[in-house]
Amino acid sequence: MSKFFLFISIFCVKSLFTFEIVKKPIQEISIIKPKNYPKSKGQHYVNKTPRLSTCTGAAWSADEKCLIVAHFDYGAIYVYDFDENLETAILSQIVESTDKLNLQSVDNICISPDGQFLALSINHRKSIVVFEFDKEKKRIVNSNFVVFESPDPNCHGINFSKNSDYLYFTTIRPDGGIHVCKLKTKNQLISIDYLGKIKNDFYPYKPKSIDFSFDDKYLAIIFANNIMMQPSMAGGAIGLYIIKKDEDFLNPKLVSYFQDSSIFFGGDDLRFFRDTYQLIVSEQPRDEISIFEIDPSTHELRKKSVVLTKETSNISLPHGICISPSGRYLIVCNFGLNNFSIFKIE
């Protein structure tokens, strides 16, 4: 087979691969209020819709046998065992705030692709936290963690590069930035080296969430207006970057972006679908989950379709989303319903 034919075959697989998200969730799970639940911080607005900061972020274990959900207002992390035969999630662990670690305003979470670490952003406390994750027991090791104080306030999105080497997180005040770290372990103790900050190319929008393509070629960042204590106008963009070499991680090249206020009001989270250059995006102001696709020959980013809506799928102000490693399941965290939904992908 010639190299040219091989390239065309790979291009077709990455660009034309299709999938369908079943519109009815296989399970909707309400979050249990923890024992030490603090008083709510008050009502916020997404566009002109009121809501409380509730179920915010989700992650799947590397072997897809458990899923983890964060709750902003409760300040707690919930672990669920997932039975793929019954396609059912059952609560197995709750990690609450303690005197040593305050999880109030936990915003988003992620598991490293190698399955060793669980990282989370703490919005109001200007920090990120990284726990050891027990891959065998499928439990958070809440006795082994490290807290890193961010140089900027209001940490929001967080994610690992696909090779697990780098941890990126976003801040949404004052000007918004994308920060890069590297994890180290010595004698089972976790430490974080801060490497620097990537500038915000879409100010006054703020970077909400980030993800990497399967091959670490693309870094996608979703930008949007911050929520307010009063009704505000929504808006946003998706930026597509390329990181060519390890030493360029602080200077990714912006190669494309999507910004069309007639069909995109901004969103909160985005995830690449498995080994393709397609993105699943939570459009919070519109109560929608959409698919975007990238043409790798031109880097053009375009909106392909809307796949889930409030009317068809009972989602409300979707915040964090997460695709299972096999690409068979999608979690959607619903601010408006204080629950999360699991959808099947075919």
Whose CA is closest to 55, among 36, 81, 74, 80? 74
| Strand stretches in 273-328, DSSP E | 278-283, 288-295, 300-309, 318-323
pTM: 0.91
What spatial distance separates the first Cα and last Cα of the chain, rounded to whole Å?
A: 31
Two tokens, residue 277: 């250059």
Per-residue pLDDT of the chain (346 residues; tens, 9 = 90+): 444 333 333 444 455 567 899 999 999 999 888 776 666 555 666 667 666 668 899 999 999 999 999 999 889 999 999 999 999 999 999 999 988 899 999 999 999 999 999 999 999 989 999 999 999 999 999 999 999 999 999 999 999 988 888 999 999 988 899 999 999 888 889 999 999 999 999 999 999 999 999 998 999 999 998 765 455 566 899 999 998 766 667 889 999 999 998 899 888 999 999 899 999 999 988 899 999 999 999 999 999 999 999 999 999 989 999 999 999 999 999 987 889 999 999 9
DSSP secondary structure of 170-184: EE-SSS-EEEEEEEE
Our CA dihedral for 302, 45, 219, 261, rounded to 10 degrees, sits at 20
Cα 226 to the chain's mean position, in Å?
A: 16
The pLDDT value given to residue 284: 87
Name the strand (E) or helix (H) holding 258: strand 253-258
Q: Are the beta carbons of 171 and 158 closer than 8 angstroms?
A: no
Contacts for 226 with CB less than 8 Å, ≥ 6 apart: 172, 173, 206
pLDDT of residue 106: 94
Amino acid at 211: D
Question: In the prediction, which pLDDT does 145 show?
Answer: 96
Please list the alpha-helical segments (H only) found in the chain: 3-16, 310-313
Domains, the chain, ranges and CATH? Answer: 42-344 (2.130.10.10)
